Each structure stands twice: as structure tokens, then as C-alpha cells.
């Protein structure tokens, strides 16, 4: 049995337009675990999330990201997604004219597609049958308390903040990733939407899914209980602990962490 973590980030340094943002970040996440990455604004949390998914704006200058034992630095974003990584966006993009159901079926077919044949060409594969897809989607929408009419609306077009975030969680439910990164999913949500989204995440979490919740506030962690909390300051993780660490941050803010780092 391998002891290699499912997601292993080793001494990661990342620059944006020549400016170093991540300065030696290391992290491990396994399936079956829920991790929270917390930190003040500007600490590099969203840079880290985008780097994990291969956004071309973010340049890895040193270090490595291993997923299931293999480096993914040379993989494009779609390849990382097909391999089993998923990211729920802080600000999902609206695409007028594309129904949510059409988008989701295309995404699912891409996720299920073989990665390549022996000759390097993509093997042909029929997509998921329409009825099977509809049944699967309706079951997951019911789980997230989403009306069936949601499927025929244009992707995120005119969606409320809560609807956008529920749409992200529905994608996660359908695509069945192995590691899901949630980039400040709690931003812009009222308490009811936050609870529904959190219930969806808790239902999906289990032995086949690892979750990395990136957040500024403790609020979402009242509903999604992490196994481990990591605190990020100035591009690196400076301290970590159990769920009680998030409560300490809520009570005391981040200044005490900065003071501890400065005293080292």
C-alpha cells in the first residue's frame, strides 16, 4: 500500500507577472479528508487554488505538485480535471445562451472520456445516454434543493450568489472528482444558501473525495467540519492544527499569527 498522499504540494514557489506570491508552500490532502486553508486577504490563497488547476497566469518557479504520485505541472487544466481535480470558483462565469444542462453533460462526457489511445489519438467514446444523464442530474439537484427548471437556465446568467455556488457544488456532485478545491465558496452567500451548499458538500464528502476549503472566515467551517486547518500568511503555511484553530482565528484574528511568525 502506497503512503504517497493523493495531493502533495512540495515547497511551491509561484510568481505572477514576475512578482513572487507563493514562497515555499507545502501541503498534503488525501481522499476522505477535509482541509481548511485560511488566511487574510492578499496572503495568496486564490493564487494557490488557481495554480493547482493550471491557470496559465501563474508561473511555478520551483517546487512541485504531485497528484496520485505524478507531477501535474506539465498538465493542462482540462487534463488535471479529467485526472480527478476539481475547483469551485469564487466568482463563477456566466455564459448566456448555454443551458446549464448542456454544459454539465459536456463536462461529464469530457471527464469520463479516455485520456488517449496507444497511437496518441483520443479514442472515440459515446457520451453518457441522455436519460441516464437526466436521472443522475435530477437526483443530485434534489440533494441540493434545486428546482428542476434550473437545468434549462443559461449557465450562471442571472443567478443569485447562492444559485451560482449551488451550481458549482452540483458540478462537483456530477463529475465525482477525487480532490475538490473550494475557493472562497462562502463569499456572497446568505446564511440559508451557505447552509444548503455546506450540506451538499458534507453529503458528497467521504472516502472517495478529499476537500480543500479555502476561506477567509470561520463561518463556513461551522457547517463543514475540517479534519485539519492550515493558516497561510504571505505566501506560505505558517501554522496548522485541528478545527479549534479556526475558532481561535475567529476570536483573535490573524495578528497573533503574524506576531508568532515575526518572532521566529
Q: Tell me the average pLDDT across 141-164.
A: 89
pLDDT at residue 48, rounded to an integer:
97
Q: How much is the average pLDDT of 72-92?
A: 93
> Domain total for the chain?
1
Q: Which of 41, 39, 13 is nearest to 26 (CA)?
A: 13
C-alpha cell at position 20: 513572487
| 197 lies in some domain | yes
Domain-embedded: residue 171? yes
End-to-end CA distance of the chain: 38
Q: With cut-offs at 50, 70 and 90, classify the pLDDT of residue 1.
A: very low
Instruction: Kindly state whether residue 154 falls inside one of the protein's structural domains.
Output: yes
Average pLDDT, the chain: 90
pLDDT at 11 over 50: yes
Strands (E), the chain: 7-16, 19-29, 34-38, 58-67, 70-71, 85-88, 95-99, 154-155, 179-183, 210-215, 228-233, 236-241
Residue 1 lies in a domain: no
Taken as a whole, the chain contains a residue count of 264
pLDDT, tens digit (0-9, with 9 covering 90-100), for 84-128: 999 998 888 999 999 999 999 999 998 887 655 455 555 455 688
Q: What is the pLDDT of residues 190-199, one digit of tens each?
A: 888 888 889 8
Question: What are the pLDDT digits (tens) for 196-218?
Answer: 889 888 988 889 999 999 998 88
Angstrom distances, CA of residue 103 to CA of 43, 77, 95: 33, 17, 10
Residue 188 in domain: yes
Range of the domain at 113: 7-117+125-263
CATH of residue 133's domain is 3.40.50.300
Asked, for residue 2, whether it belongs to a domain, the answer is no
Amino acid at each position: 500500500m502506497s503512503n504517497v498522499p493523493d495531493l502533495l504540494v512540495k515547497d511551491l514557489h509561484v510568481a505572477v507577472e514576475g512578482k513572487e506570491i507563493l514562497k515555499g508552500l507545502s501541503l498534503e490532502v488525501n481522499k476522505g479528508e477535509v482541509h481548511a486553508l485560511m488566511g487574510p486577504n492578499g496572503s495568496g490563497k486564490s493564487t494557490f487554488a488557481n495554480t493547482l488547476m493550471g491557470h496559465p497566469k501563474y508561473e511555478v518557479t520551483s517546487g512541485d505538485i504531485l497528484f496520485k504520485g505524478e507531477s501535474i505541472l506539465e498538465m493542462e487544466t482540462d487534463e488535471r480535471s479529467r485526472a480527478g481535480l476539481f475547483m469551485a470558483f469564487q466568482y463563477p462565469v456566466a455564459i448566456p445562451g448555454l443551458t446549464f444542462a448542456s454544459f454539465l453533460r459536456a463536462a461529464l462526457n469530457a471527464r469520463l472520456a479516455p485520456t488517449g489511445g496507444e497511437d496518441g489519438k483520443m479514442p472515440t467514446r459515446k457520451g453518457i445516454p441522455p436519460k441516464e444523464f437526466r436521472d443522475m442530474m435530477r437526483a443530485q439537484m434534489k440533494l441540493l434543493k434545486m428546482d428542476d427548471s434550473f437545468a434549462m437556465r443559461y449557465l450562471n446568467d442571472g443567478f443569485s450568489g447562492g444559485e451560482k455556488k449551488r451550481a458549482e457544488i452540483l458540478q462537483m456532485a456530477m463529475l465525482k472528482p477525487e480532490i475538490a478545491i473550494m475557493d472562497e465558496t462562502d463569499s456572497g452567500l446568505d446564511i440559508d444558501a451557505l447552509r444548503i451548499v455546506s450540506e451538499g458538500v458534507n453529503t458528497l464528502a467521504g472516502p472517495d473525495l478529499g476537500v480543500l476549503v479555502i476561506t477567509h472566515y470561520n463561518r463556513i467551517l461551522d457547517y463543514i467540519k475540517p479534519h485539519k486547518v492550515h493558516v497561510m500568511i504571505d505566501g506560505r503555511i505558517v501554522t496548522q492544527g485541528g478545527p479549534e484553530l479556526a475558532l481561535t482565528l475567529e476570536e483573535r484574528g490573524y495578528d497573533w499569527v503574524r506576531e508568532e511568525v515575526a518572532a521566529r
